[in-house]
Amino acid sequence: MPFSAGNGELQIVAGQNIGSLGDAKGLPTTVQWKWYYNLPGLVFGVLALLPLVLARENWNFRAWAALVPLLVIIVLWNWMKLLFSPSSSTAEYFGVMIIALATAWTVFWSLAGRFQSRSKVLNFTAAAVVLWVMMSAVLAAGGVMQTSGLLSMLISQLVLIVAWLASMILSARRCRKTYSPKRFMAWLFLWTMLTLTGFTFVYMVVFILVFSSVSMAMIPRLLIGLLISSGLFGFILYLLNLPFMVLVFNNSIYDERFRKTFGLPMESNNPSELLASCGE
Amino acid sequence: MRLCIPFMLVAILGAAAPTADDPPKDDAVCTLVLDGGSIEKLSLESDRGEEKIFIKPSESVALEPGRYRVAEIAIEGGYTYSGLFRTVSQWFTLAPGGQHRLRAGSPLTSRVEVERRGRILELNYKLQDAAGRSYRSNDRSNPPSFIVTKDGKQIGGGTFDYG
């Protein structure tokens, strides 16, 4: 509902021309609408801004560039909606999902400087928790997370986040000796596809076996469907991640955070080191 | 050829199912009074698994005593109700010599179920008979519409998507 709906009682009447079968105008349904029902739509903005305002390392104009990929994704999503005109409920559902993921990434990169302790397990866990909490908060505020299916939704998010973090770490491992953005992105494409397909595939197989009663005859067809859909999902995730990687490669603050967090070689500013590397 | 077998089975089973023209064999005949109109086909299922089909039934139909539920109703204009996949079935009992009033068919009433998801109101259109059964139509040329009003002033509206 638009903000102009304000506060009060809404009456919704459905109707259809059914000829002699009944009245064209149906019975009214009354809904109590509160002005603050519209506020959750803004939660993602507040969450994205919080680490930029509160964390000292972000008190820098260049650090606020973390908001650019989020805005780019929102603009592109709205453009896609115009292009494909999905139904309003489908558009809202996928819109909230995309914005939730983009918000979680914005917060992740805003706080990336803090995931650099000695314990890799601790760093990974902290990053996963931040991404998970942010995503869940936006999804809950957007009304996507309902009580029914809450557990599967939370697990799905965790699978997505762990798969993404794993793909970033594995790509970084392949670039420790010879790093370049292009090389990293090529490895990231491969690992995003592999981790997403693998994690989603395992998760869905477990989910089907535990929660649903599928006949054995259906399993081969389901597995092929799962492989295709999880591969497609991985490709979409890679595309959504692109604006953030463009930020990382073009903004010195995020480039440094990225290299430190994922253990990549730092760009040397020391003239003697640069000369030495030229000599090699 | 594999496709033909189910159709043949349906044809054989359909032919075997008693219709309104088959008089009940039991002497103790019960009456099902139909409270509603425009019914072109009424299909009942008994608790013994038998199917009773009535094509363009009159105001009342004769049935053997037993427990029945509505399996399918087709009414004018291509609107149908299917009770086959209902998890909770409303059975009614016909005692020997007794009668039961079944509210089905027209008049139909348009209703809208509303569920709020965050800032979104999800509207679900239902076309129901007096007993609350929902009817569907395959005709996509006449989609139902809705309007949203506040304090008597229209603030929104549109048509429903199918599916």
β-pairing, A25-33 vs A8-15, is antiparallel
Same-domain check for residues A58 and A128: yes
Same-domain check for residues B59 and B93: yes
Same-domain check for residues A154 and A137: no
Same-domain check for residues A110 and A151: no
Q: Residue A89 sits in which domain range?
A: 38-145
Q: Provide CB contacts within 8 A for B122, sequence distance 6+.
A: A89, B114, B115, B116
Report yes or no on A93 lying in a domain.
yes
Is there a contact between A132 and A160 (Cβ–Cβ < 8 Å)? no
Both tokens assigned to B16: 């075997």
pLDDT higher than 60, residue A89: yes
Same-domain check for residues B88 and B113: no
Which residues from chain A sit within 8 angstroms of residue B113, using beta carbons? 29
Q: Does B4 touch chain A (CB under 8 A)?
A: no
CA closest to A5 among chain B residues: B155
B20-62 pLDDT, tens digit per residue, is 445 555 557 888 888 888 899 999 888 888 888 899 988 888 8
Give the lowest-confidence range in A108-122, A151-165, B108-122.
B108-122
Final residue in a domain of this structure, among A111, A127, A145: A145
Report yes or no on A2 lying in a domain.
no
Averaged pLDDT, B93-107: 86
pLDDT at position B45: 86
Final residue in a domain of this structure, among B74, B103, B132: B103
CA distance A13 to A25: 7
CA closest to A35 among chain B residues: B119
Residues in chain A: 280
Distance from CA of A65 to the nearest CA of B (A): 29
Cβ within 8 Å, pair A15-B127: no
Distance from CA of A33 to the nearest CA of B (A): 9
pLDDT higher than 90, residue A66: yes
Averaged pLDDT, A42-71: 92
pLDDT higher than 50, residue B67: yes
Same-domain check for residues B16 and B63: yes
CA distance A84 to A228: 22
- Total domains present in chain B: 2
Nearest to B148 among A10, A22, A143 (CB): A10
Nearest to B112 among A12, A21, A37 (CB): A12
Q: Does B151 touch chain A (CB under 8 A)?
A: yes
Distance from CA of A79 to the nearest CA of B (A): 20
Q: Which of B110, B142, B160 to mutate to test the interface with A (most CBs of A within 10 A)?
A: B110
Distance from CA of A224 to the nearest CA of B (A): 25
Same-domain check for residues A135 and A156: no
Same-domain check for residues A187 and A124: no
Give the count of alpha carbons within 13 A of B90, CB side only. Answer: 10
* DSSP tag of B51: E
Domain CATH number, residue B82: 2.60.40
Report yes or no on A26 lying in a domain.
no
Look up tokens 């491992």; give the residue. Answer: A173
Final residue in a domain of this structure, among B85, B103, B121: B103
Give the lowest-confidence range in A110-114, A171-175, B116-120.
B116-120
Same-domain check for residues A158 and A186: yes
Q: Which of B150, B153, B154 to mutate to test the interface with A (most CBs of A within 10 A)?
A: B150
Cβ within 8 Å, pair A14-B107: no
pLDDT higher than 90, residue A244: yes
CA closest to B77 among chain A residues: A18
Same-domain check for residues A138 and A151: no
Final residue in a domain of this structure, among B62, B83, B103: B103
Same-domain check for residues B16 and B74: yes
Q: At what angle do helices A120-141 and A43-54 cross, to 10 degrees?
A: 140
pLDDT at position A213: 61
Is there a contact between B92 and B25 (Cβ–Cβ < 8 Å)? no
Same-domain check for residues B34 and B98: yes
pLDDT higher than 90, residue B158: no
- Total domains present in chain A: 2
CA distance B41 to B72: 8
Mind giving me the DSSP string for chain A?
A: --GGG-SEEEEEEEE---GGGS-SEEEEEEEEE-GGGGGGGGHHHHHHHHHHHH-GGG-SGGGGGGHHHHHHHHHHHHHHHHHH---HHHHHHHHHHHHHHHHHHHHHHHSGGGS-SS-HHHHHHHHHHHHHHHHHHHHHHTT---STTHHHHHHHHHHHHHHHHHHHHHHHHTTSSS--HHHHHHHHHHHHHHHHHHHHHHHHHHHHHHH----GGGHHHHHHHHHHHHHHHHHHHHHHHHHHHHHHHH-HHHHHHHHHHTTPPPPP--HHHHHHHHH-
Distance from CA of A155 to the nearest CA of B (A): 21
Same-domain check for residues A125 and A78: yes
By the 10 Å C-beta count (0-12 exposed, 13-18 middle, 19+ buried), A51 is classed as: buried
Give the count of alpha carbons within 13 A of A24, CB side only. Answer: 6
Cβ within 8 Å, pair A14-B145: yes
Cβ within 8 Å, pair B144-A16: yes
CA distance B52 to B57: 12
Distance from CA of A91 to the nearest CA of B (A): 11
Type and span of the H or E element at B120 = strand B120-128
CA distance A39 to A37: 6
Report yes or no on A99 lying in a domain.
yes
The amino acid present at A278, given as its one-letter code, is C
A2-37 pLDDT, tens digit per residue, is 656 677 888 999 888 888 888 888 888 998 888 777
Tell me which residues of chain B, numbers 122 to 141, contact chain A at a CB-CB cutoff of 8 Å. 122-123, 125, 127
Q: Does B145 touch chain A (CB under 8 A)?
A: yes
Final residue in a domain of this structure, among A93, A110, A145: A145
CB atoms within 10 A of CB A198: 14
Q: Provide CB contacts within 8 A for B159, sequence distance 6+.
A: B143, B144, B145, B146
Same-domain check for residues B40 and B115: no
Q: Residue B142 sits in which domain range?
A: 109-159
Cβ within 8 Å, pair B118-A142: yes
Same-domain check for residues B74 and B125: no
pLDDT higher than 80, residue B19: no
Residues in chain B: 163
Type and span of the H or E element at B93 = strand B92-94
Look up tokens 């606020």; give the residue. Answer: A64
Task: Enter the pTM of the model.
Answer: 0.65
Final residue in a domain of this structure, among A129, A145, A161: A145
- B/e letters for A2-24, b = 16+ CB within 10 Å, e = fewer, are eeebeeeebbbbbbbebeebbee
